[in-house]
Structure 1
């Protein structure tokens, strides 16, 4: 009986000591998961208050912004032209690639074998030659 009484007193003393220290409240035991999946003791409301608003201009990406650079027109030779159907092909002199063109993008006197300058434009079927001008002509 004396041992039981001593245990009760010891338990009571340790309980009072914990109350006096004021530790281990329920709020102190809670842990939250942050946006990266890590455990933290900071509640989401406080993290939201601390978060800074990010401006779009402050975001830096690895590729530089595209600047408007005027490219020199490509040079090529008319490989094929069908006047009755209104289309042809220009072979780029630098890369030997062939590009389709429509008569509406070419001068009226266009013919096979003529050297021209042109620009490229993407279409549903691939790259097309546009703004075709004879190489010996200036704009």
Structure 2
């Protein structure tokens, strides 16, 4: 006679699955029964942005002109534009001749700008004072047309 293919472990696992399905079905029925005719709570936001259960006082209402709200980045012509034609001055903080790149620190803003050997007009070394223009690069602003002062 052949042995049954169902082992004790398989039978126990099937019982557990059936039990879980039954519990899930009961919970679903309870949710359906409790949701019928159920009420919901209203939440209000006060002037500080906190949620409360009391409605706000209508006398504290502030009128806001929707046309004054700016969403996103301001248009290019509205931004304060620096004089892009004037060359900037800075100091070479690092330059590696073997690799052909370095960094320039702007005298006015103390920002570091990347400089590549292809953007040089004169040979530069570390601690040289230079004038340069900026161009948008892949990872930020790059110094180009770099001249020694």
Q: TM-score range by the shorter chain?
A: 0.3 to 0.5
> Normalising by structure 2, what TM-score?
0.43
> Normalising by structure 1, what TM-score?
0.46
Structure having the higher Rg: 1
